[in-house]
Amino acid sequence: MMTENENNTLTLTALNRLVRDAIEEQLPMRYWVTGELSEVRSTSVGHCYIELVERNEATGELTAKARGTIWSRVYSLLRPYFMEQTGRDFGVGLKVLLQVKINFHELYGYSLDVCDIEPAYTLGDMARQRMLIIKRLTDEGVIELNKELPFPLLPKRVAVISSATAAGYGDFCDQLNNNIYGFRFGVKLFQSPMQGAKVEEGIIAALNKIAYEIDKWDVVVIIRGGGATSDLSCFDTYDLANNCAQFPLPIITGIGHQRDDTLLDMVAHTRVKTPTAAAELLIHTMLQQAERLAMLQQSIPETVKRRITDERTRISSMLQKLPLSVALMMQRQRHRLDIWEQRLQASSPERILAKGYTLTLCDGQVVRSASQLSVGKEIVTRFADGMAESKITEIEKKK
C-alpha cells in the first residue's frame, strides 16, 4: 500500500496533529469524569499535575489511566474550595469527580485539563468508606469495646498522645496542673504526629508503648490543638479505630475540631472537643470523688450520732417510766403483806387464848385427845395470862 502512494506518508507530527484535530472536532465539550487520584504533584509556580486512574472494584487492577493538569489559576481556587467542602487536602487516594477538557499535544500526547471539581462526590465516597469501616468494626464486635471499659474513679496517671509542639498539649497540662482543687496528676507525653499521613502509624506506636507499661496508667488522652480546617481523614482509618477500640485503657479524645466525629472519636471511651475540655473532664472526675467522700465523711458520723441520740431518748423515757412502775409494784406488795399480816394475827395462839380457850400440855406435848391421858398424870393448862397444874383423877371418853 505504502509503495502505491508515497505521498500519503505522514510525519509523526502531522499524524499527531491529525489525532489532535480529530479529538478537538469530535470531543470539543467539557466532560464530567470520575476517577481516583493516583498521583498529585504541584509545581513551584502553582500548577498541579495529577494522574487519574480507574480500578476493577473486585481485583483493584487498573483498567484506565490518564494524566491531567490543573493550571495554577484554576488550582489556586479549586484546592481551598475542595478543602473547605470535604475537610481533606486534594491528594492521592481520593475519589474525585472532575470536569475536564480533553487535550492532545503532538509531543506530550493525551491529557486532561481540569476545569472544575465536584466535592460532593468525594464526600459521598468518604462517607461510604467510613460506613464500610464502621460496619467492619461492628461485625468484628470491637466498636464498643473501649466504651465498655469502666472509667477510673481517680484518673490521676495520664498517658497523653500528642505532638510535643502542639499548642493543645500545653493547654492540657496548664489546665490540669493549675486546677483550683489541688488535685495532682502524673502526665507523660507519648509523641506522635497529629496531622498528615504519619498519624495512624504514630498513634498506634504510642499506644503500643503505653500498653507495654499498662500498669502505670489509668487513662489515655489523645489530643491536638485547633485547626478546624485541617485534614482529619488521618483519624478515620480502620487500623487506628481498631487499635483504639481494643485498647485496654479508656481513651479520651480531644482533637480540636467542630466537624463530625472522626472514627477515632467514635470508638474512643469519651470524646470531648478540645484538649482543655479533656483536662476538665479529668478534674471533674476527681472532683466528683472529692464530693462523694465529703458526703460520706459527713453523713456516716451524723447518722451514727442520730442513732445514739435515738437510743438515749429511749433510755431516758424508760427512766421516767421506771419510778412510777416501781411505786405501783411496791404498793401492790405492801397490800399483799397487809393481808398476810391480818391472816397471821387471826390465827395466833394468844388471840385464841384471850377468847377463853385454853391449851393443855402433858409431858411437854399438846394434848388433843382424852386418850393421850391416863389417871394420875399431871397436866399443865395454859391460859392467856398464866397457867395451872392439875392431876387427872378420872377420864371419861365420849361414846
Q: Which residues bind other proteins (CB under 8 A)?
A: 153-154, 156-157, 182-189, 191, 216, 286, 289-290, 292-293, 296-297, 299-301, 303-304, 307-308, 310-311
Q: d(Cα 215, Cα 326) in Å, to the nearest integer? A: 70
Residue nearer to other proteins on the CB measure, 90 or 185: 185
Backbone angles phi, psi at 44, to 5 degrees: -65, -25
- As measured in angstroms, the least distance from the Cβ of 184 to other proteins is 5
- As measured in angstroms, the least distance from the Cβ of 292 to other proteins is 7
Residue nearer to other proteins on the CB measure, 114 or 159: 159
CB atoms within 10 A of CB 24: 13
Residue nearer to other proteins on the CB measure, 79 or 156: 156
Instruction: Decide: 224 and 164 in contact? Cβ < 8 Å.
Output: no
Q: d(Cα 62, Cα 39) in Å, to the nearest integer? A: 14
- Crossing angle of helices 238-245 and 119-139, in 10° steps, is 40
Residue nearer to other proteins on the CB measure, 183 or 247: 183
Cell of 307: 442513732
Q: d(Cα 315, Cα 310) in Å, to the nearest integer? A: 9
CB-facing half-sphere around the CA of 89: CA atoms within 13 A = 12
Measuring CA to CA, which residue among 121, 128, 67, 71 is closest to residue 97? 121
- 82 SS3 class: helix
Residue nearer to other proteins on the CB measure, 111 or 179: 179
- As measured in angstroms, the least distance from the Cβ of 153 to other proteins is 6
Q: Which residues contact 311 (CB under 8 A, 6 or more apart)?
A: none
Q: d(Cα 55, Cα 39) in Å, to the nearest integer? A: 14
- As measured in angstroms, the least distance from the Cβ of 149 to other proteins is 14
Strands 270-271 and 251-254: parallel
- As measured in angstroms, the least distance from the Cβ of 193 to other proteins is 14
- As measured in angstroms, the least distance from the Cβ of 314 to other proteins is 10
Strands 219-223 and 270-271: unpaired
Cell of 376: 394420875
* Radius of gyration from C-alpha coordinates of the chain: 56
- 72 SS3 class: helix
Residue nearer to other proteins on the CB measure, 40 or 154: 154
- As measured in angstroms, the least distance from the Cβ of 322 to other proteins is 20
Residue nearer to other proteins on the CB measure, 64 or 308: 308
Residue nearer to other proteins on the CB measure, 49 or 151: 151
- As measured in angstroms, the least distance from the Cβ of 48 to other proteins is 37
